[in-house]
Amino acid sequence: MIPYGKQDINQQDIDAVVAVLQSDYLTQGPQVPAFEQTLIDHTDAEYAVACNSATSALHLACLALELGKGDWLWTTPITFVASANCGLYCGAKIDFVDIDPQTYNLCPKALEKKLILAKAENKLPKVVVPVHLCGQSCDMASIHALSLEYGFKIIEDAAHAIGGEYQDKPVGCGNYSDITIFSFHPVKIVTTAEGGAALTNQQVLADKMVLLRSHGITRDKALMKPVSGLDMDAQGNWYYQQLELGFNYRMTELQAALGVSQMQRLNQFVKDRQRLAHRYNKLLAEFPLILPMQLENANSAWHLYVIGLTVEDGLRSKSKLSQKALFQQLRELGIGVNLHYIPVHTQPYYQNMGFVVGDFPHAEYYYQQALSLPLFHGMTDAQQDEVVSALIQVLGA
Ligand SMILES: *Cc1c(COP(=O)(O)O)cnc(C)c1O
């Protein structure tokens, strides 16, 4: 089976992890700050906070922006559930903004319409989470302009997009958002096995995320509060204080060392994905398929290559093959196609909150006809040709 995504681990990665195992620190040593520095170097953001997952990073980001009970978080329905769940962790309410039918990203026009209605009802969101689907940036300039007008904060979910660019700047630079999160899950662009990070240019947000990443505990004397009945001058270097209710969202040294090593190949990973994506574009140009739409002002990191199966007069409508049948036949031919994503508002957990199928028509239409083809660093041209041959066989193209 040719998988839809796969990590690329070389001897240098293995040596880096083994070296940590032979060192004094398996956690809270020098590798985590070194990894954070690679993220700062790459993006030009001021601060990076590495975590044990992007889900944790999203949670910390929401907490740092003081999202809480009674607040609203808005995101896109076409994303992994974590982009929405982070708001629920904070007691906030969730709503969705439909996608742009061409880019599949959160649509700024739909966002503006919804903001106008929400303002009239006094239900404006505190946080909006645009997701750079497949690795291509959202229209951040438009979303940012709306944030100034309507007073919401922005968390970029860039789980797919490390190595991508928007307006000639690396995704994660934070020019149009408060916080950007990355994921280092093995199917993503670079991996730390499990892992994530939150990047920001605002020191207060970075400090808050660092504090909450580790139980809300500090060893910084300047932050400590007097405790009545406790002689503060008698407290030695063992002394720490818990200031907030935090979590254990720390990344290990093993993960960070893998990340440092992987980051050295980030450009290579993205270049290879871009090359393969352009090769798909060429090989599939004459197929009755919708190929990924590329924006002029963005360079995708190409986490995913998503094709649309329904075009007017397309072979699929002639052959009447359902999405399900195509998926099944391609899998049987050893092609690890996948589907990203089931619209979040159709999940039973979200249906219980009152969302219904029909709420976000563009997202639902996308879901009925999308398919992700295999794409990963190290995929060979021969493997890609095999995917194309299978498509010819199945579509009868
Ligand atoms: C993978 C992913 C996440 C979660 O990442 P983890 O590191 O697995 O927690 C969040 N958002 C999107 C869009 C993702 O694809």
Residue-level pLDDT, tens digit, the chain, 397 residues: 999 999 999 999 999 999 999 999 999 999 999 999 999 999 999 999 999 999 999 999 999 999 999 999 999 999 999 999 999 999 999 999 999 999 999 999 999 999 999 999 999 999 999 999 999 999 999 999 999 999 999 999 999 999 999 999 999 999 999 999 999 999 999 999 999 999 999 999 999 999 999 999 999 999 999 999 999 999 999 999 999 999 999 999 999 999 999 999 999 999 999 999 999 999 999 998 999 999 999 999 999 999 999 765 554 454 567 899 999 999 999 999 999 999 999 999 999 999 999 999 999 999 999 999 999 999 999 999 999 999 999 988 6
- pLDDT, residue 310, reads 76
Residue 309 — φ and ψ, nearest 5°? -90, -15
Ligand 1: residue of 80, 137, 184, 302 to mutate (most ligand atoms within 8 A of CB) is: 80
DSSP string across 303-326: S-EEEE---TT-HHHHHT--HHHH
Q: Give 203-212 pLDDT, tens digit per residue.
A: 999 999 999 9
The pLDDT value recorded for residue 362 is 97
Q: Which pLDDT tens digit goes with each residue over 330-367?
A: 999 999 999 999 999 999 999 999 999 999 999 999 99
Tokens of 304: 């995913």
- Rounded to whole angstroms, how far apart are CA atoms 339 and 364? 13
Residue type, 205: L
CA angle 268, 10, 253 (to 5 degrees): 100
DSSP structural state of residue 158: -
Nearest ligand 1 atom to the CA of 183 is: 7
Strand order in the sheet with 169-170: 169-170, 165-166, 298-299
Q: Is 172 near ligand 1, meaning CB less than 6 Å away?
A: no
CA distance 24 to 125: 46
- Whether the Cβ atoms of residue 49 and residue 201 lie closer than 8 Å to each other: no
pLDDT at 288 (0 to 100)? 87
Kindly state the helix (H) or strand (E) to which residue 75 belongs, with its residue range: strand 72-75
List of domains in the chain: 11-263 (3.40.640.10), 266-395 (3.90.1150.10)
C-alpha–C-alpha distance, residues 95 and 80, integer Å = 15
Q: Is 54 in the pocket of ligand 1 (CB under 6 A)?
A: yes
Residues 106 and 75 sit within 8 Å (Cβ to Cβ): yes
Q: Which atom of ligand 1 is nearest to the CA of 83?
A: 11
Cβ–Cβ contacts within 10 Å for residue 277, how many?
Answer: 21
Long-range Cβ contacts of 345-348 (<8 Å, 24+ apart): 345/77, 345/96, 346/77, 347/81
What is the pLDDT, as a whole number, of residue 321? 76
Residue 83: name the closest of 11, 184, 6, 156 by CA: 156
C-alpha of residue 56 to centroid of ligand 1, in Å:
10
- Return the sign of the alpha-carbon dihedral for residues 102, 196, 245, 230: negative
- Look up residue 212 and give its amino acid: L
Question: What is the atom index within ligand 1 of the atom nearest the CA of 303?
Answer: 15
What does the alpha-carbon distance between residue 146 and residue 140 come to, in Å, rounded to a whole number? Answer: 10
Alpha carbons within 13 A on the beta-carbon side of 295: 25
Could you tell me the two tokens for 341?
């994503």
Report the alpha-carbon distance of residue 139 to residue 295 in Å, rounded: 9
User: What is the Å distance from ligand 1's center to 61 Cα?
Assistant: 14
Rounded distance between C-alpha atoms, residue 4 and residue 19, angstroms: 31
C-beta of 290 in contact with ligand 1 (< 6 A): no
Residue 126 beta carbon below 6 angstroms from any ligand 1 atom: no
364 has which bridge partners?
none
Ligand 1 centroid from CA 231, angstroms: 46
Cis peptide before 341 (omega within 30 of 0): yes
Rg of the chain in Å (alpha carbons):
22
For residue 172, count other CB atoms closer than 10 A to its CB.
29
For residues 155 and 198, what is the distance between their CA atoms, to the nearest angstrom?
Answer: 9
Q: Is 183 near ligand 1, meaning CB less than 6 Å away? A: yes
Among the listed residues 134, 367, 392, the one whose alpha carbon sits nearest the alpha carbon of residue 286: 392
**Which of 344, 346, 335 shows the shortest CA–CA distance to 371?**
335
Non-local (6+) Cβ contacts of 77 within 8 A are 96, 98, 99, 343, 344, 345, 346, 360, 363, 364
Is pTM, for the whole model, over 0.85?
yes
